Every structure is written in C-alpha cells, then in structure tokens.
Amino acid sequence: MNKIIFSLVFSLLLIGFSNFVYAGSYQDPVIIFETELGTIVIELFIADATEHSKNFITLSTSGFYDGTVFHRIIPGFMIQGGDPNTINGDPNTWGQGGPDDRLDAEFNSIKHNRGIVSMARSADPNSAGSQFFIVHKDSNFLDGEYTAFGRIATEESFSTLDKIAAVQTERNDRPTNPEQVRIISSTFESRDNIPGIIPFVEPERNTPLRTPDEEVTPTGNQIFENQELDISFSAPEGWLLQRSDKTNNSNAPDVAAVGPKTNGINPVISLTIENIDGKTLDDLITEKNNVLAEVVYQNKLEILSQEKIKSNVYETIAIGNFEVDNEILKIKFSEVLMLVDEKSYTFAYSNTLNNFDNQLPNFQNTIDSFKILSQDNTIMKSSTDNSSEEGGGCLIATATYGSELAPQVQMLREIRDNQLMNTESGSAFMTTFNELYYTFSPIIADYERENPYFKEIVKTGLTPMLSTLAIMENAESESEVLGLGLSVVTLNLGMYLGIPAIIVIGIKRKF
C-alpha cells in the first residue's frame, strides 16, 4: 500500500512539474475556465506573484479545478472558488478544502479592482492553497492583505463574472444551484491565441504600497449560516470566515471571522457553542470568573465590566496584556454569553486597545443578527446596547477601583438592581441616566486607565459620593426610593457644586 501511495504522489509531482515546464514554453500564458455561464480567461502577473502564478498554472493544467464550484458568491464584492470539497463533498465543508502545500504571501501593490484575481487564505498570511477569488466590484480594503496574481482578460470574462455574481444564493453566500457555477474544465493557452483578448495595460497600483499596518475599513456584511450548528449571523464584509472542526482543541471557537490587520493585529469575532448540561447562567458566570480570577491575580487581565444584560445574557469586557517581541501589547475583549435551550453561545470580539472602538459597531451588528435557525428568530436585539432595560454598567467606578469585583462597584450594582430597578420611578430614572452616562463614561474610564493621576482625582471625588449613596440601601418602597433618591441628589449637588461655589464667592469678596 505504501508503495502505491508513494508512486501516486511521485506521479502527481511529475505531472505538476511537467505542466509548469510546458507552461513556460508559452509567451504570456493565460488560464481558461469553461463554466455553464460562459468562459473566464485569466492573465497572470508573474513578476508580482511568481510562486502564486506557478501554483495556479500547475493546479489548472493538472485538472485540479475541473468540477469545482464557485462556492461563495457576494455580488458587489467577489466570487470565490477553487475548493476541491465542492466537487462532491458535504456543502458544510465548502471553503475548508485545498492541497496540503501552502504558499507564502506575495503581497504586492496591485489594487483589488474589478476583475482582479487574488488568492484566498486563512488568518495566517502564509496559508494560500488552491482557493482564489475574482473581485466583482472594486474592494480596495483588501489591498496588501491578499496576494493579487492575475486579472480576467476578455469582455466575455467580465460578462461571465457578472452572471455568476447574479445567481441566486443561500444566506451563507452559497449558490442555490451549484451546477450553474461549476468549472467544467480548465486549460492553458498563449495570450496570442485568445480571440478578443483585451490589450494588456498595467494594473492600477497603490503608490506607495499600502502596508498591512495601515487602517482599512470594510463595509457591508456577509451572512454565515450553518445547518449543522443551527445558527446564522452576519459578519463584516471582507473578513475571512473560518470554521473549526475542534478536533485538536475542544476549546476552540466553532466559527471565527478575521478582519484585515491593523497595526500588526487582526481583529477577530468568534462564536463558541457548548452544551451546558443543566447549568444556569449564574453557574456559567461563576465558572468563568473562577478562571478569570487567576489571570487577574497574575496581572495579565483587567476586568473592566461584567454585566447581566438580560436574564439569559451576560457581557464581560476586559483588557489583556500580551508579550509580543519583548513588548507588552494591550488587547481589549468583549465577550457576550447567551444561554438558550441547554446551550451556551459565546460571541467574543478582540482588537488592540487603540483600535477596539473602530470595529465595535461590526461586533454589535453580528450579535444583533444572530439567529438559531430551528427557532427562526433573532435571539437578541441590541443586547450590548448600554441603555438596555436592565441598566448599564459602572465603567467609571470599575476603572477607578481597578476591578469589577471591588466592593464599591458591587455596592453600586446592588443599589441599582435591588432598589432602583425594582421600582417604576427607579427604572425610568436609570433609563434616562444611562442615555446620558454612556455619552461620556467610556472616555473618562479610558483616560483613567491611561493617566494614574487623573484616576486618583476621580477616586477622590467618587469616595464621598459613594458614602452618600449608601443611604439608598435602606429604601424598600417606591416612595422611599424616590424620597431618599432626591435627598442623595440634593446632598451631592451641595457637595460638588454648592460648596465649591461658596468658596469661589468668598475668595472673590476677599480680593
């Protein structure tokens, strides 16, 4: 058996090598794909992406692409193909297949304009295999992130591209009728032998080349839907969606969306699904906090807030310290845990501290769009909206006292949950308060973490206010909440506005 396998592998290597030698005998080689909807002629930028061009020629002329399907179609963005799993494999595995050998990135200055052919990859830049995509409409946020190695080269090719982009798709961007978009055959030819080929012009380039560290902002959304996982959600357009089989790591997320690298780091949105075996949300929170406590103790993690947003939803926001090239890199996390029918669904978003807010709306859209297919309904809408009906977090106090578990923060939460939120007037007050509070509290909390002197100033101001708020713990009825609440407000107005005003007036009179 081993001899048979060795002979087969050796034969394939010889075929690939001979195809490349054969290809080298042509002047300006092009690849021709025949599909049900027309022909696609692809010219190659060998000087810009030598290894990718060689790989594409070898795979095309060996028949590797024959019978494969354009399995991911997003009109206005791109069409993606080249996965051998699409020949006769389970549709749930489409997008995960390819040869064992991987290519190192050959990022270049070519812009990802309409008609450009580029190589798909995973989060690892050096992971391209056989999957490629053809840009349907200019998508320059991909520039410098993926290896552009070719371009379609006839008017018929552009017409075929439009036809494929227009086919009906399912919600996960798979074609409803795969046979429409199957590659029948791939052949190799000299450019001079192609009728109607567009005269060659240099592709439009970025000058200078946009590096992966430069910020890009993808727009729009793509839908991920998986019948096996029974879930659906939207992810930012242009982000690479990956499905994990969890074979080697049971703790790995089931799905991850990886965004373009900014300042050396890729933002990531992931979803992890687990059976809870009869546990409650409080049980899961306790387990998570026990794990986090050790990391916090080691000063590798700072918990900014933990909030039960709804009866079945819990959010944790934290900053982790990671050592990269002997430098400490701060990564900010937001994790939203949802409990539904004996399963937990945990969405997590991570990014550098400075870039975290840039992609936060995309994370919010992902959570808002999340559905369990068998229930055919959106699990939560604006679940991380800071003005939700169950109240907001304590961002300033958490940043001031350094931990979500600090007694001062816990006191604030208890007053809010046990007194204010149990009365109509208190709930109305918290709704209005949160709308105002979250217009400035994230800025103050972030500045506290950056400036220890400012943090001490805020602490000096908060301490007497928290002492007065302790009065609220005695409130039990609606009238007591209202009466004591007004008393506390009056007391703090006098403390923070009245006394300073009297001092200022006294100083003015003296001088």
Contacts of 391 (CB under 8 A, 6+ apart): 416, 417, 420, 421, 430, 434
Instruction: Parse the chain into domains and list their residue ranges.
Output: 2-193, 219-385, 388-511
> How many other CB atoms sit within 10 Å of the CB of residue 392?
21
Q: Measured between alpha carbons, how far is 320 from 460 in angstroms, rounded to an integer?
A: 27
Q: What is the mean pLDDT of residues 505-509?
A: 58
Q: Which residue has the higher pLDDT, 129 or 504?
A: 129
- Rounded to whole angstroms, how far apart are CA atoms 385 and 412? 19
Spatial neighbors of 24 by CB under 8 A, at least 6 apart, are none
Lowest pLDDT segment from 29-38, 193-202, 361-370, 499-508: 499-508
Residues 175-187: what's their mean pLDDT? 95
Provide the 3-class DSSP secondary structure of residue 231: strand
Report which listed range, 110-114, 192-196, 292-296, is most confident.
Answer: 110-114
User: What whole-number percentage of the chain has pLDDT above 90?
Assistant: 24
Structure tokens at 228: 């096996």
pLDDT at 23 over 80: no
pLDDT for residue 212: 44
Name the percent of the chain lying above pLDDT 70: 66
Which of the two residues, 68 and 457, has the higher pLDDT score?
68
Q: Is the pLDDT of residue 27 over 80?
A: no
Which two tokens mark 348? 């997590």
Q: Is 117 exposed, middle or buried (CB count within 10 Å of its CB: 0-12, 13-18, 19+)?
A: buried
In sequence order, the 6+-apart residues with CB closer than 8 A to the CB of 43 are 28, 30, 150, 151, 152, 153, 191, 197, 200
Q: Where are the beta strands (DSSP E) in 145-289?
A: 148-152, 183-190, 221-226, 231-236, 240-243, 255-258, 268-275
SS3 227: coil
**Most confident of the following: 71-80, 278-287, 451-460:** 71-80
Q: Does the pLDDT value for residue 377 go beyond 80?
A: no
The model's pLDDT over 325-356, given as tens digits with 9 standing for 90+, comes to 667 778 888 999 888 888 889 999 998 888 88
Fold of 2-193: Cyclophilin (2.40.100)
Q: What's the DSSP call for residue 449?
A: H
**Could you count the other beta carbons within 10 Å of the beta carbon of residue 361?**
10
Which among 390, 381, 487, 490 is positioned nearest to 434, based on CA atoms? 390
When pLDDT is averaged across residues 202-229 and rounded to a whole number, the result is 65
- Contact (CB, 8 A) for 208 and 343: no
Looking at 99-103, 162-166, 388-392, which range is the least confident one?
A: 388-392
pLDDT at residue 430, as a whole number: 64
Pick from 459, 360, 451: nearest CA to 409: 459
Give the span between the Cα atoms of 135 and 5, in whole angstroms: 38
Residue 324's pLDDT band (cuts 50, 70, 90): low
User: Is residue 272's pLDDT more than 60?
Assistant: yes
Lowest mean pLDDT among 112-116, 160-164, 173-177, 256-260: 256-260
Name, of 63-77, 235-249, 295-309, the range with top average pLDDT.
63-77
What number is the average pLDDT over the span 118-129? Answer: 86
Task: Say whether pLDDT at 116 is over 90.
Answer: yes
What are the E-state strand segments in 259-340? 268-275, 301-310, 313-324, 327-340
Tokens 């087969």 found at:
8
Task: Give alpha helix (H) positions in 63-175.
Answer: 85-88, 155-165
- 231 pairs with which residues across the strands? 226, 372
Q: Which residue has the tokens 């001062």?
A: 408
Confidence category of residue 153, pLDDT binned at 50, 70, 90:
very high
Residue 488 has pLDDT above 50, yes or no: yes
351-371 pLDDT, tens digit each = 888 888 888 888 888 888 888
Res 391: pLDDT: 39
Read off the pLDDT of each residue in 240-251 and give the average, rounded to a whole number.
64
Half-sphere exposure at residue 444, Cβ-oriented, CA atoms within 13 angstroms: 18
Residues 6+ apart with CB under 8 A from 309: 315, 336, 383, 384, 388, 390
Looking at residue 510, its pLDDT comes to 59
Cα distances (angstroms) measured from residue 263 to each of 24, 80, 214, 331? 39, 27, 7, 12
Q: State yes or no: pLDDT of 44 exceeds 80.
A: yes
Taking a C-beta distance cutoff of 8 angstroms, is the pair 419, 407 a contact? no
Would the pTM count as exceeding 0.85? no
In this prediction, residue 311 carries a pLDDT of 75
222 pLDDT above the threshold of 80: no
Structure tokens, 51: 């290894």
**Per-position DSSP letters for 357-411, written without gaps between them:** HHHHHHHHHHHHH-EETTTTEES-SSTT-TT-TT----HHHHHHHS-TTSHHHHH
- Average pLDDT, rounded, for the chain: 76
Cβ distance 307 to 441 under 8 Å? no
For range 225-254, the mean pLDDT: 74
Looking at residue 92, its pLDDT comes to: 85
CA-to-CA separations, 229 to 134, 394, 403, in angstroms, rounded: 29, 35, 36
Contact by Cβ (8 Å): 123, 257: no
The pLDDT value recorded for residue 42 is 96
Listed residue (213, 234, 242) closest to 143, CA to CA: 213
Q: DSSP letter at 259?
A: P
CATH of 219-385, one of 1.20.1740.10, 3.40.1000.10, 3.30.1490.120, 3.40.50.300: 3.40.1000.10
**HSE toward the beta carbon, residue 367, CA cutoff 13 A:** 26
* pLDDT level of residue 160 (50, 70, 90 thresholds): very high
Query: How confident is residue 10, by pLDDT bands cut at 50, 70 and 90?
Result: very low
